[in-house]
Amino acid sequence: MTVEQMSSPTVPALRSVGLVTGLALEAALVPAKASPRLIPLCAGPGPAAAARASWRLMERGCSVLVSFGTAGGLDPALPPGTLIIPEEIRLIGDQPPLPVDSTLRRRLLAACERAGLPVHAGPLVGSDLPLLSPAEKARVAQLSGAAAVDMESHRVAEIALDAGLPFLAVRVIADPADRSVPRWAMKGINEKGATVVAPILLALALAPWRLPALITLARSAARARHTLGRVACGPLLDLLGR
């Protein structure tokens, strides 16, 4: 049986779609007045926070869960800003992949095509820890065969599967496969997924030569957010029927 066969053969009425994000900036990309049925929620980065956000969204009556945000590139051919709507979520190890709802995915792909948004099919792999170096990314790419990695999608997919809800992942590459993410830069995000400036300013004050790396990271992140914003303002609304 394929992953798509495991997915829901029919799609329930989309009362509301819950978007689980790891960063507050990602949640803020969803226009507040776009639709009351498109509900973003950030509880922070990582699988535990993604689980909390998923449960809260289900308590609010969401009938679909979407993992929405950025990802780390594993395929060296994919630059920052690449949109990935995977056909499955893979796990590191011998565990079977987690399904993505095939019907909703087809509808979302069609909406992206109408919006002129190119999509890479994936797959995506979940990691409980951030992959910060090209060597770490290469190792996981070899183990999983995935195009990109993030820390939330696999947990959201597990919860949706247990709850019998459709699941989708919408991820955009922020840091490509051949680029390191400095540990000092990770301190710019707190446990709630909010941006904190003070640790970054301190890191630059202690080592001003870090500035070019920070600028590169910021530019790539901006490209990723631009793509995510386009998806939120168009295809995801089309999924709801506006």
For residue 1, pLDDT over 60 is answered with no
207: Cα separation from own chain's centroid? 31
Token pair for 2:
């394929």
* For residues 116-137, average pLDDT: 94
For residue 2, pLDDT over 90 is answered with no
Q: What is the dotted CATH code of the domain comprising 15-240?
A: 3.40.50.1580
Cβ atoms < 10 Å from Cβ of 152 = 32
For 192-232, write each residue's pLDDT tens digit.
999 999 999 999 999 999 999 999 999 999 999 999 999 99
CB neighbour burial string for 105-116, b if at least 16 within 10 angstroms, e if fewer: bebbbebbeeee
What's residue 242's pLDDT? Answer: 59
Domain boundaries, the chain: 15-240
The whole model's pTM is what? 0.90
Q: Per-residue confidence at 13, pLDDT binned at 50, 70, 90? A: low
For 53-108, write each residue's pLDDT tens digit.
999 999 999 999 999 999 999 999 999 999 999 999 999 888 899 999 999 999 99
Average pLDDT of the chain is: 91
**Alpha carbons 228 and 226: distance in angstroms, whole number:** 6
Token pair for 4:
């798509």
**Alpha carbons 125 and 151: distance in angstroms, whole number:** 9
